[in-house]
Every structure is written in structure tokens, then in C-alpha cells.
Amino acid sequence: MPDGAKRPIKPGTSGADVAKAISPSLLKRTVAMVLNGTLSDLAEPINADATIKFVTRTDPEALELIRHDTAHVLAEAVQDLWPGTQVTIGPVIENGFFYDFAKAEPFTPEDLPRIEKRMSEIIAKNAPFTRQVWSRDKAKAYFKEKGELFKVELVDAIPPGEDVKIYNQGAWLDLCRGPHMASTGAIGKAFKLTRHSGSYWRGDAQGKPLQRIYGTAFADEKDLAAYLKQIEEAEKRDHRKIGREMDLFHFQEEGPGVVFWHAKGWATFQQLIAYMRRRLAEDYQEVQGPQLLDKSLWETSGHWGWYSDNMFAVKSATAFMNPNDDTAEQRVFALKPMNCPGHVQIFKHGLKSYRDLPLRLAEFGCVHRYEPSGALHGLMRVRGFTQDDAHIFCTEEQLEAECLKINDLMMSVYKDFGFKEVVVKLATRPAKRVGTDAMWDHAEGILRKVLGKMAAEDSRIKTGINEGEGTFYGPKFEYTLRDAIGREWQCGTTQVDFNLPERFGAFYIAADGEKKQPVMVHRAICGSLERFLGILLEDCAGHLPLWIAPVQAVVTTIVSDADAYAKQVHAKLKKLGLRTEIDLRNEKINYKVREHSLAKVPVMLVVGKREAEEGKVSVRRLGSQEQTVMTLEEALTMLKSEAMPPDLARE
RNA sequence: GCCGCAAUAGCUCAGUCGGUAGAGCACGUCAUUCGUAAUGACGGGGUCACAGGUUCGAAUCCUGUUUGCGGCACCA
């Protein structure tokens, strides 16, 4: 027992029996147990010495069970309402659960309340969850008979030696690994179906289409309400909404997935580039490759073969309109989807010596990818974007140090932007790949070692492995950040490449005078600058740090008598290099304060008659109603130092 | 690309049973000179995403297309 007490029991006694023996009221409020550290049903027999902790429905451990049980009840409700619907899987996910159904007619938005109602009825019946272990044959025969063909497949997929477990809730049953709570009544009332969508059997777009329902559940209704409120608040931080409010960028129908950057958004974009450029100055050489290159080059690089579905091809407009006209130049170019082939050409131009390595070529490269229409998402997923890309040509021996160096830069940059948590995942060899197993073993080995070091050295880094998710040309690290509602987006990346140097015949002259193929590392810190800014906007809810804010300060007057003074203030701010605006409109100060607050200008310098006479300014910060009156000189000194980008401030 | 939903003024949205378009904010003009989140009056602004169809008549019903939103799949 958690309190250290020991109880002798007979082998085979269930958790429920143990609880009951302690006290019937304990049994009544217990929904599951942690047996030897593993969350289990109360029905689980205990066959040897064990540690037991009983779990009530309000314990943190129970949340997963509540959600999983709710998913089962959802499945029962759907089969009640639409007989003939097949059930597939219904796992617990972050913040809730989903269940996938095979149903000819898709769900409609009106179906969700109907299903919820039926679920409430099922929960009210409070049928116990009971577990049975069936033979494989029995389970297959049963599900086949019922027409549950997906369940038959799932039974087949259970590893030999593992029990085929069936959970009943009243008359309804499901194949399930468990565990579950004692009865459906333990679910309570704090559940909600949140949305529905299409999905695919086994996540395969070639597989059978399924209908998914998402929901969430909590131990009590207050928690559910708080969660829904939190989501609602987070949605207000959507970068697409903030972008409009701050007049940063827009999209329009003629340009799906390409950004119109407005003056303000572009000011911030340029600050981001300027910052990154300073961070690279010491170690990298900045280059710029061409936007269009002949299709043949992309065939050589392999991109045409692997990704032509996602590339833009370009011809002259004449050739495009007259495909059979021999006199028109029919040559096909591709809009670059990556900068690497360009960088390899630059590396190859002129003989390189081992003394030149590591050679780090950086580019703020604008790339275009023909992303599937359904993937487009504001600034986060676009068809034309700018990468803070770089390629490092180095020797085998230099690889590990280079990866660590990249990670240091990555984390330092993320810190400057205030990101508290970064998830780094190592993506290993995919099924379709180039290179020998020995090469993969070697490169993955180095990256694993580097991943371990990262986790040990920086508490902000959470690490993991994405098995089989590497690129076709090598393993990679994915650095992911989250948006306002918790969706993960890959930003930074470090990728080892077995493919390109060989395909393009890149080499350097080694110390022994022999030609040697360099190791190539792709890396991006922000990844897509568009995406990075989208994440940043959501992370700070549009309240950008002063140094990167599009408009850093607005000088605004209370009366027109202060206009001349306001202009002086504005001119001095400009001279300091601050991005400022002046608002001399004949409007009430309340109106102006409101407007600039909504536009999320970090600093307002308000001047009236008093300030003009005394050579002062009244400083008001975004998000605060406080006003601080200070001399103009004090304000200038303060703002100049505050507007210093973090890297320059460190110096 | 797949499933569902949506598209009306610059923005947020209303528009009932199919009868010919409306509000607030924004914008313009005028008045107002005001001390920290909306001053008032007046005015301009619409191919109701686009293309077909049904109908005497379509923002409204049907079909297709485009774009967006939520997932799925994809993400070099």
C-alpha cells in the first residue's frame, strides 16, 4: 500500500476484493488501481507480492481512464443510433480521445448533440465494465459474424502470446487492451464531443475512409468548462486573426498559400532576417542561389523523382500556351523547392581543400513547394516561404561537433524569442531510402549521441524518437514548437545527407591529396521564417518584444497645441532608429489609445500641453493602464536600450 | 488530395417562406481641442466568391469550380 502497510492476500485475489476487504466505502469510490506501477482494472487478479495504489476518479491517473471509457461509450452510442456502423479504434489522445467508425454516411454537425444525449443515457445505466479473455479464434469468429471486419484485422494484429481481451459494458462489447474503470457511471457528466472529420484506416490515405469523432472528458464539469474556456481564449491568439488586427499580412484567392506581406509585417520579417544574419556572421558565409534551375538539375539531385508531385515547373508563357510549337523554347525549369542543390553547385565551383572544411553556406532562400491544398494553414504551411537555410560541408570527423554547434545556435535563438519548451525528435531511417544500412547505422549513431547530450545539457529540451520518419537521404532532428492551441509545428531541423554530395560528385582534396566526398548537413533554425513568425505571434498573442515589433512606438497628442512638440519627439525617436509613428489626428486621447492598443503597439508616448511645456512625455505600455511621465531624454535612453535586439544587448 | 462545414461592404455579422441588400465598426466631410481603451452629425461604399441550372422571380434551392476553416493524409 502507498502508506507502507502490507496486507496478506490469497493468490488470484482481485484489486476489488482487496479494496472491499479494507472498506466497502473504499471500494465504492475506487475506479482502478496502480498495480506494480501499472494502471490496471480492479478486476485484475493479484498472483504474487505486489504494490497497490487505489485510484479514485478524481486522481490524475484516472483521467486517461475516464477518456478511454468515454470513447467506448461513444462507440456504443454510435452503434445504437446507426446500426451497421463498424467500430475500429478509439484511443486516448492529448486533451481527449477519438473514435474512428466505418459508416457510409458521414456524420453531420447535428449528430454530435444527438450522440452526446445517447451517451448520457448509457452512462446513467452505470453498467459495469467486465473483462474477458477470448481465444483468438473465438474473437475472430465473433467479430466476423457481427460484420466487424476491422476488429478481425485488429485481432490478427495482436502479437502472439498476448491475450485477446474483450471489455463488456452491459450488452455492448469491444476488443480492447484496457484498462477500464469499474462501470460506465464513473465517467460522469463532464464530457463533450468536439468535432468530427474524415480519417483513414491505419492512417493510410490509400486505405478505407473512416469517420472520426473527437471528444474530451474530465473528472468534473469545472475542469471541462475551464478547458473549453482555455481553447476559446487560445483561438483569439490565432496568428491569422492577429495578422489582420496588426495589419501584418494577408492572403487572397488568387494566391493560395502565398503571403502578401504588408509594410508592418515586412518590417518584422526584416528584423528577423537581420537578427539571424548577425547570428550567422561569425561562422557562415551567406550566399544566394537562383530561383529557377533546369529540370535536369533536379533530376540529378533526385528531387524530381521523389517530389515532382510537390514541385512547380515553369516554362515560358509562349511555350506554355503552344506546347507543340517547335520554335518556342520548350525547356522546363523548376522553381526551387530547396536551396541545397544550389549550395552544392557553389561548393563545387572551384577546388575545395580539407582546409576549407567545415564550409558553412547560408541563405535566406525563398522556396516554393506545391503543398496539397488541404495542408495550407495561414503562415504555418504555405506554398512559398523563406528558409533560414544552411548547408555544412564537413569531414566525417567534424560531423558530431557540427551537430552540437547547430544545436547550441538553435537553442540560443529560441531562447532569444522566449520559447520555454522545445521538443527535439530524432527521425530515423524510413522504408524508402538511399544509402547503405552501414551508413544509416553510423549517422543515426552520431545523432543519438548528440540527442543524449542535448537532453542532458538543456532542461528546456524534451527529446524523442520518430521511428522511420527520417528523410530518404538521411536521419534528421526535428525541432518543434507549438501554436496557440497546442498543435506542433516543425521549425528547426538538422539533417545528415548521404545523397547529394554523391549525386553531384562533390569532393574536396584531403590531406593525403586524394579526392574525398564531404559529409553534408542541412540545417535551418527558424525553418520557415513565415511559420516561425506565425508561432511567435501566437506565443506572445501579438505582443511582440520591442526589438522586433513592427511599430515600436506611437507619439500621440492630446491637443493640437502639442503638435509641434510631438513632431520633435517623433523626429528624435526616428533618429535613434526606432520604428515610430505619429498620430496628430483631432481625436480624443481615449480613442487614440484604444486604437493603438488594438494595433498592439508596445509603447505610446502621449504628449499634451503639460508635456510640451515641460519637455516630457507620458509613457504608456501595451497591456497596462499605467502612465509614467518622464523627460524626453530619459524616455529616449530607455527606449533605445529596450529596443536593442537580444544578441546586440549581450554585447 | 480525402471527409465535413463555410463564403453577404475593408472588418464582425444579420438577412424569416424564393419577391430584388441591412447593422455596428472602419472610411470621407463637417463640427468638436478633449489627459490615457470608442465625441456627434451627415455621406460614400455590394456582380451577395465564381460559372451554370431550376423559377415569372435566386444572396436564399440544385450542380460544378475556387478559396477558407476543422480534422485526415502529406510535409525534401
Of A57, A212, A279, A476, the active-site residue reads A476
Of A369, A433, A600, A616, the active-site residue reads A369
User: Quick one: cell of A203?
Assistant: 492512417
Closest residue (CA to C1') to nucleotide B74 in the complex: A372
- Our measurement of the distance from residue A403's CA atom to the centroid of its chain's CA atoms, rounded to an integer in Å, reads 22
Question: What's the CA gap between A298 and A291, in Å, rounded?
Answer: 12
Half-sphere exposure of A219 (CA within 13 A, CB side): 14
Residues of chain A where predicted confidence (pLDDT) is lower than 50 = none
Q: Which letter does DSSP use for residue A4 in this model?
A: S
The residue written with cell numbers 489522445 in the block is: A93
First to last CA, chain A: 57
Q: Which nucleotide's C1' sits nearest to the alpha carbon of A380? A: B75
Question: What's the CA gap between A90 and A102, in Å, rounded?
Answer: 12
User: Quick one: cell of A556?
Assistant: 500621440
Tally of residues, chain A: 651
Of A391, A531, A579, A620, the active-site residue reads A391
Question: What's the CA gap between A220 and A518, in Å, rounded?
Answer: 59
- Our measurement of the distance from residue A651's CA atom to the centroid of its chain's CA atoms, rounded to an integer in Å, reads 32
Distance in angstroms, CA of A517 to C1' of B76? 21
Q: Which nucleotide's C1' sits nearest to the alpha carbon of A605? A: B36
Closest residue (CA to C1') to nucleotide B71 in the complex: A197
Q: Is A340 a catalytic residue?
A: yes
Question: What's the CA gap between A55 and A29, in Å, rounded?
Answer: 8
Distance in angstroms, CA of A262 to C1' of B19? 43
Q: Are A603 and A556 in contact (CB under 8 A)?
A: no
Closest listed residue to residue A386, CA positions, set A362, A366, A363: A366
Q: Is A389 a catalytic residue?
A: yes
Question: What's the CA gap between A185 and A193, in Å, rounded?
Answer: 18
User: Quick one: cell of A598?
Assistant: 488594438
Question: What's the CA gap between A539 and A277, in Å, rounded?
Answer: 23
Of A69, A388, A389, A483, the active-site residue reads A389
Of A86, A169, A387, A495, the active-site residue reads A387
Distance in angstroms, CA of A560 to C1' of B40? 19
Query: Which helix H or strand E contains A143, and what residues bound it?
Result: helix A136-146
Q: What pLDDT score was predicted for residue A513?
A: 97
Distance in angstroms, CA of A526 to C1' of B58? 50
Q: What pLDDT score was predicted for residue A71?
A: 98
Peptide bond connecting A106 to the previous residue in cis, omega within 30 degrees of 0: no
Q: A437-457 and A399-416 helices cross at what angle (nearest 10)?
A: 40
Q: Which nucleotide's C1' sits nearest to the alpha carbon of A588? A: B34
- Our measurement of the distance from residue A547's CA atom to the centroid of its chain's CA atoms, rounded to an integer in Å, reads 25
Distance in angstroms, CA of A380 to C1' of B65? 26
CB atoms near residue A53 (< 10 Å): 16
Cβ partners under 8 Å of residue A278, min gap 6: A645, A647, A648
In strand B, the nucleotides that come within 7 Å of a protein beta carbon are: 1-5, 11-12, 31-39, 66-76
Q: What pLDDT score was predicted for residue A553?
A: 97
Q: Are A530 and A368 in contact (CB under 8 A)?
A: no
- Backbone phi, then psi, for A390, in 5-degree steps? -155, 155
**DSSP 3-state of A226:** helix
CA dihedral A54, A58, A59, A64 (to 10 degrees): 100
Q: Is A391 a catalytic residue?
A: yes
Q: What pLDDT score was predicted for residue A501?
A: 95
Q: Is A366 a catalytic residue?
A: no
Distance in angstroms, CA of A109 to C1' of B17? 24
The residue written with cell numbers 533605445 in the block is: A640
Q: What pLDDT score was predicted for residue A342?
A: 98
Distance in angstroms, CA of A625 to C1' of B24? 26
Q: What pLDDT score was predicted for residue A161?
A: 85
User: Quick one: cell of A530?
Assistant: 513565415
Q: Which nucleotide's C1' sits nearest to the alpha carbon of A597? A: B37
Q: For the whole model, what pTM was predicted?
A: 0.95
Instruction: Measure the CA angle with vertex A4, ends A48 and A47; round to 5°.
Output: 10
